[in-house]
Structure 1
Amino acid sequence: MNTLDVRVENGQRVIEKWDSVFEAVSAEPRRQLVFSLLDAPPNQSVPLPESAANPNVPIDADRLRQELYHRHLPMLADMGFIEWEREPLSASRGPNFEEVGIVFDALHSAVGDIPDSLVVGCQRLERKRQENIEI
């Protein structure tokens, strides 16, 4: 394989990885689950559906449980970002979790630069911004 072929192959692989990351974080329950897993110790699972719910928005727990079970959890598991159990319904970090977790770590690091319209209403980002102000 020549250098150009290797570059093309690597480029396509990276594009697919980024597409997976952005697809994973394109829905609120999946974002909340990633945040919850980042807040938990690396080898600990988090309970569902509560760990996938936005704490600022009332939820229909039964509906969220169904959405998690049939859509969100299988998608994240297929990407290797999480592993999940049906009984009791819970999730833990998967072998590729760092690929999606780093996006949220980067957001936390840059929280002072993020527009208020993307921070106010997100308890975790608001808390991180307040922590940075207090330092």
Structure 2
Amino acid sequence: MTGTRFENGRRVIEKWDDVFSVLDAEPRRRIVISLLDTDGAVSLPESAINPNAPADPEQLRVELHHKHLPMLAEHGFIEWESDPLIAAPGPRFEEVAAVFEALQAQAESIPDSLVVGCQRLEEEQEVA
């Protein structure tokens, strides 16, 4: 019984480690957020660009193809194709989606230091 509980605990820890390791880069977080906002696939690199800190689309395309997309796909969080470059939810997508859904549900509790730039951009867009 203890062995089974220990093994189950290890699997849960590994799953959380997978989630947080893939979410440690902004382009991967942007892809997950973009997929939450759609019912299907998203176009890349456009969906991986943070509007608060735009990146060079060609450089980002290379990074997506060689680093970010393979990492997300390796864990089953997305499925992707290279021509055209798109990403869609994978069989484990709900595991990374749950993190963002929980954050959105508690948005008012998130420290200003983590959202001030985003709030400022939203206010600028509303004025324009």
TM-score (norm 1): 0.86
Deviation per CA, 1:93-130, whole angstroms, max 9, x where unpaired? 0000000000000000000000011112236xx69xxx
Superimposed CA distance per residue, residues 43-90 of structure 1 (whole angstroms, 9 cap, x where no aligned partner): x10000010110111211111000000000000001000000100000
The residue number in structure 2 matching 1:23 is 21
**Corresponding residue for 2:116?**
120
1:46-85 alignment to 2 at 5 Å?
A: 46-85=42-81
Q: TM-score, normalised by structure 2?
A: 0.91
More displaced stretch, 55-64 vs 114-123 = 114-123
**2:90 aligned residue:** 94
1:32 aligned onto 2:30: yes
**Equivalenced residues, count:** 121
The CA RMSD over aligned residues, in Å, is 1.3
Q: Which residue of 1 aligns with 2:126?
A: none
| Inter-CA distance 122–20: structure 2 relative to 1 (3 Å threshold) | farther
Moved over 3 A (4+): none
Q: Matches of 1:75 and 1:122 in 2, distance apart?
A: 26
| SS class of match (2:50) | coil
Inter-partner Cα distance in structure 2 for 1:119 and 1:17:
27
Unpaired runs of 5+ residues, structure 2, are 124-128
Instruction: Tell me the distance in 2 between the aligned counterparts of 1:103 and 1:20.
Output: 12
